[in-house]
Amino acid sequence: MTNAFYNSKASARRVMMLPNSLNEAAVEALDQASRVPNLNGDLLQSTPARDIRSGSERILALLQTVDMKRFFQKQTIFSRFTGADVEARLQFELASYRVMAAFREVRQAADNGRRVRALLAKAKLDLGEQQSKLAGVIEEAKVLLVKSRASADSFLVDRFERRLANLITMETSNTLTLQQMTLSESTLSMLLDRFVDIETMLLPLWQRNALAIAQGEVTSLRSQPAVEFLESHHSLIDHLQKVGSK
């Protein structure tokens, strides 16, 4: 059997959404087709990607205030005599605390991002189904308009044409919305993936190395704890800069 046979069978099985005549019921059918559910309000109000970026930029700014050279300059015998070494350690511990507090805010933004990503996926699916229905209605409406223009009431024809034009505009707008949703979902997934790298590997390593500096007797930038801290420090800064970049 030919493909044309199968296509004709599929068309016969398709439920017609418009009446056979261009009448008031046909106009109302187009009105019904234009009534689609609104998007989830959270998609309009939540900005997780921006929140993750801005939070990462705050952490980055805090990390860049950590001056390890100044810290070790205060770890001399004279500094211990004056108490400057204790002050330097307290400043280091405070900076570390602020980094962790800022990170908890970004973690909340990431959790919200995962929730919004799921909402985006559902909204895309729903809108895709609406697009399929709109395409079917538009196709039927064009055929009905051509078939009935000469015989139908001119006032009805004008109303029907306006509704059809509105549906075509809506279909075009939905196409652009789907493209934007896909871009937003991709951007959010990229940010969340980078955040997972920071959350599961880079930040815990930085935290452990910071603890070793704060609690240990580290007095030189060349010591192993200092070298390991600086490596984790620079790696964390590098990844945060990628998250914060547009």
d(CA 138, CA 34): 11
CB 160 within 8 A of CB 141: yes
Residue 46 or residue 115, greater confidence: 115
Whether pLDDT at 35 is above 70 = yes
Q: Which two tokens stand for residue 43?
A: 């998609």
pLDDT in tens, 64-102: 887 766 666 555 554 555 555 566 667 778 888 899 999
Q: Which residues, 6 or more positions from 138, have their beta carbon under 8 angstroms from its beta carbon?
A: 164, 167, 168, 171
Check residues 6 and 235 and name the one with the higher pLDDT. Answer: 235
Average pLDDT over residues 211-219: 73
- Distance, in Å, from the CA atom of 104 to the CA atom of 230, rounded to the nearest integer, reads 22
- Residue 172 pLDDT > 90, yes or no? yes
State the chain's mean pLDDT as an integer: 83
Q: Could you tell me the residue ranges of all domains in the chain? A: 46-244
CA distance linking residue 93 with residue 86, whole number of Å: 10
pLDDT at 1: 42
103-158 pLDDT per residue, tens: 999 999 999 999 999 999 999 999 999 999 999 999 999 999 999 988 888 999 99
Q: What is the pLDDT of residue 170?
A: 94
For the cut 90, the answer to whether the pLDDT of residue 9 exceeds it is no
The answer to whether residues 99 and 160 touch, using CB atoms and an 8 Å cutoff, is no
Measuring CA to CA, how many Å separate 111 from each of 51, 98, 105, 187? 11, 20, 10, 15
- Could you give the CA distance from residue 225 to residue 220 in angstroms, rounded to a whole number? 9
Does residue 199 or residue 11 have the better pLDDT?
199
**For the chain, the helix, strand and coil percentages under 3-state DSSP, each to the nearest 5:** 85, 0, 15
Please report, as a single letter, which amino acid is at residue 187: T
**pLDDT-based confidence at residue 246 (cuts at 50, 70, 90):** low
Contact predicate 18/140, CB 8 Å: yes
Residue 223 has a pLDDT of 80
Q: In this predicted model, which residue has the larger pLDDT, 208 or 88? A: 208
Long-range contacts of 5-14 (CB under 8 A, 24+ apart): 14/136
pLDDT for 197 equals 92
pLDDT at position 10 is 39
State the pLDDT at residue 36. Answer: 79
Residues 25-31 have a mean pLDDT of 93
